[in-house]
Amino acid sequence: MKIGVVGASGYAGGELLRLLSEHPKFTLAYISAGTNAGEEIASIHPHLLHFGNSKFEETSVAGIDKCDLVFLALPHGQSAELIAKISPLVKVVDLGADFRLASESSWEKYYGGSYAGQLTYGLPEIGGNTELISSSSRIANPGCYATAIILGSAPAIVSKLIDASDLVVVAASGTTGAGRSAKINLIASEVMNNLVSYKFGGAHQHTPEIEENLSKLSDTNVKISFTPILAPMPRGILATVTAKMTSSVTTEEAHSTYEKYFEKSPFVKVLPIGTMPQTSATLGTNKVLIQVAVDSHTNRLVVSIAIDNLGKGAAGQAIQNANLMSGFPQDLGLKQTGVK
């Protein structure tokens, strides 16, 4: 299949290029990068030396329409106008937020600008999403925080282990989650030896995305209190989800519930009791590592989740979705082990 990557000079775009260059069924046929058009790919992504003297092309609908499938790795708000012009024969996986939300009012509150609508949500491990993705030609790839938090919460919500109306989440992300644009708060001198919360008090844009998709699994409206943290590392997310239990369940029983829920999910590993998820163990992979415990002192479920925000949180998951859309095994080209 001829594959295109639009927005390939960003962090997620670079990760797409790395993974796609080793995919057995996808051939990179079009690589574009807005303001970086004309520059050598390896000059922006020095680790991609095998691209030789290949250069980023200008972004054009004509270039996209020559592809069988295209990944859009663009800043939020830029995908909607472009997708409207792309041939319906071209499959699209959008890594931006433009088509993730069902609620127009939530879009206006958290993002602003014109609401573009909603596409099939590309998180294969929950609900009947695998079948929906497989039959879709347009996919909204989930947000990185949303991926970790939804996967960490879904088994408990489906099995009614917790009060889904009051989830508390604290999650730390590496700096690549903020994109490649230069920002003072993301330079090394500000980030190193420092942890800081941001978008404090429920202001993070992934909140409605998480609530909408978890509410589909519940008989109640899911509500989360989410505090994100900027961590002094380039990539990775470690999220902790806690919620009040609805009944007396042991850690072993909760752990078993999670294992059963994800038993057919090739990328989700519920670790043995006592082993904690580490972001470094997910680096460069599409894996999700989960641990579960019951805090009997407060009767709360506690879930720890680690992912690579550029892997399962972006490029890896996008390729997983593309595999499903194309009729391939979802783990094709995504069997990398972690680097520590």
Predicted local confidence at residue 277, as pLDDT? 98
Angle at CA of residue 209, ends 298 and 4, nearest 5°: 135
- Phi, then psi, of 24 in degrees rounded to 5: -75, -15
Tens digit of each residue's pLDDT (9 = 90 or more) over 281-303: 999 999 999 999 999 999 999 99
Predicted local confidence at residue 182, as pLDDT? 66
Decide if pLDDT at 189 tops 90: no
- Given the residues 144, 222, 237, 319, select the one marked as catalytic: 144
How far from 22 is each of 16, 70, 99, CA to CA, in Å? 10, 17, 28
Domain with CATH 3.30.360.10 in the chain: 145-308
Active site residue 144: yes
Distance of CA 112 to the CA centre of its chain: 21
Neighbour-count burial for 15-51, b at 16+ CB within 10 Å, e otherwise: bbbbbbeebeebebbbbbbbebeeeebbebbeebeeb
Decide if pLDDT at 201 tops 80: yes
Predicted local confidence at residue 337, as pLDDT? 83
How far from 277 is each of 237, 268, 291, 302, CA to CA, in Å? 10, 12, 7, 13
Predicted local confidence at residue 170, as pLDDT? 98
Distance of CA 138 to the CA centre of its chain: 16
pTM for this prediction: 0.96
DSSP bridge pairs for 40: 55
CA dihedral for 269, 95, 86, 41, sign (positive or negative): negative
E-state strands within the chain: 2-6, 27-32, 69-72, 91-94, 120-121, 138-140, 162-173, 196-197, 224-230, 237-245, 268-270, 288-295, 300-307
Predicted local confidence at residue 313, as pLDDT? 98
Kindly state the tokens that stand for 85: 């012009």
Are 308 and 289 a contacting pair, CB within 8 Å? Answer: no
* Percent of the chain topping pLDDT 90: 88
Predicted local confidence at residue 186, as pLDDT? 76
Are 125 and 147 a contacting pair, CB within 8 Å? Answer: no
Decide if pLDDT at 265 tops 90: yes
Domain with CATH 3.40.50.720 in the chain: 2-141+312-325
Query: What would the CATH number be for the domain defined by 2-141+312-325?
Result: 3.40.50.720
Residue 235 DSSP label:
S
CATH 3.30.360.10 fits 145-308, yes or no: yes
Predicted local confidence at residue 151, as pLDDT? 98
**Closest among 267, 240, 272, 243 to 255, alpha carbons compared:** 272
Residue 95's contacts (CB-CB under 8 Å, 6 or more residues apart) are 7, 12, 71, 72, 73, 74, 141, 314, 315, 318
Distance of CA 312 to the CA centre of its chain: 5
Q: Strand, helix or coil at 153?
A: helix
> What average pLDDT does this structure show over 3-27?
97
> What average pLDDT does this structure show over 155-166?
96
Decide if pLDDT at 336 tops 70: yes
